[in-house]
Amino acid sequence: MIERRPVANAFGHLMLVAMIIIVAFPIYLAVVAASHTIQDVSQTPMPLLPGAELLTNTARALFDGPQLVGVSGATPAIVLMMNSLIMAIAIAVGKIIISLLSAFAIVYFRFPLKNFFFWMIFITLMLPVEVRIIPTYKIVADLGLLDTYTGLVLPLIASATATFLFRQFFMTVPDELVEAARIDGAGPMRFFWDILVPLTRTSIAAMFVIQFIYGWNQYLWPLLIASDYKYQTIVLAIGRLIRAPDAFYEWPVIMGMAVLALLPPVLVVVLMQRWFVKGLVETEK
């Protein structure tokens, strides 16, 4: 629909600009705070223009970690980010593989209680991690998976959303394509790898972006599972830093760490944007 209504247009733009400012301002502040010395930041009012210390502060966050007076053993952000990365990638990749396979089974195979299983999966959509967190914790603890990557990743790896999305996509793949493959002699797994997965790649990319960010931003689950600093994620660590009691906060370094924590998701979105958008809107097959 194309309409020319200058007033409404201007209003729309104004709203968008306002929204962007509201969203972007705290991020801007974080960057500014990360670019000053600790003395400058501690003044009131705090400076609103960037300083010259951004690189020093982020480098310190990355390699040393913020020093908290009264708290020993700061973890450098590079370790935390590596943990986050492992967790986010494992969750995203795991979710995609499992969802692809379950959607494949649901769409292309006949087996007893197929609909029952589908609806079971579907219903879990309505149960976020938090709802089932106590039993899940108990199971993971009993399996001896506390403070392991497996424990961090495994309970989050099944995804009803992705299964549902891939199912919807598979159902739009024309039957004749399946039949052509059958005549060509492709067995089920061959068909899956050679034809279905390549056709789904844009949806897979979209799912990867969404699930990577989901994994990266996990807070509650790592909080329960990772008591050992070796397994902490960066989101978790930032949360811990500002809750340390009676501590002298190295704000610029903490902010540097927050900025660092933002980068990988942004990078993933930017790098995969083209595919991501395609995956969300594409109908051509």
Question: Contact at 8 Å (CB) between 163 and 207?
Answer: no
Q: Does 199 contact another protein by CB under 8 A?
A: yes
Comparing CB distances to another protein, the nearer of 173 and 277 is 173
Q: Per CB under 8 A, which region of 107-115, 191-199, 222-230, 238-246 contacts another protein?
A: 191-199
The set of residues, in sequence order, having a beta carbon less than 8 Å from that of 95 and lying 6+ positions away, is 156, 157, 158, 159, 162, 207, 211
Q: Which residue has the tokens 């050992």?
A: 228
Residue choice 13, 114, 132, 190 for contact with another protein (CB under 8 A): 190
274 scored as a contact of another protein (CB under 8 A): no
Letters for 159-178 (x = contact with another protein by CB under 8 A, - = none) are: ---------------x-xx-
Residue from 38, 105, 186, 269 touching another protein (CB under 8 A): that is 186
Is residue 282 within the footprint of another protein (CB under 8 A)? no
- In the complex, the smallest distance separating the C-beta of residue 209 from another protein, rounded to whole angstroms, is 21
Give CA–CA dist 10/179, Å, rounded. Answer: 53
268 CB-side CA count, 13 A:
20
Using CB under 8 A as the binding rule, whether residue 195 contacts another protein is answered as yes
Candidates 3, 142, 246, 284: give the one binding another protein (CB under 8 A).
284
For the bound state, the minimum distance from the C-beta of residue 178 to another protein, rounded and expressed in Å, comes to 9
> Comparing C-alpha atoms, which of 35, 167, 156 is closest to residue 101?
167
Helix axes 234-241, 77-108, angle to 10 degrees: 130
- In the beta sheet, which residues pair with residue 68? 71
Residue 68 in 3-state DSSP?
Answer: strand
Which residues form the interface with another protein (CB under 8 A)?
174, 176-177, 179-186, 190, 194-195, 198-199, 284-285
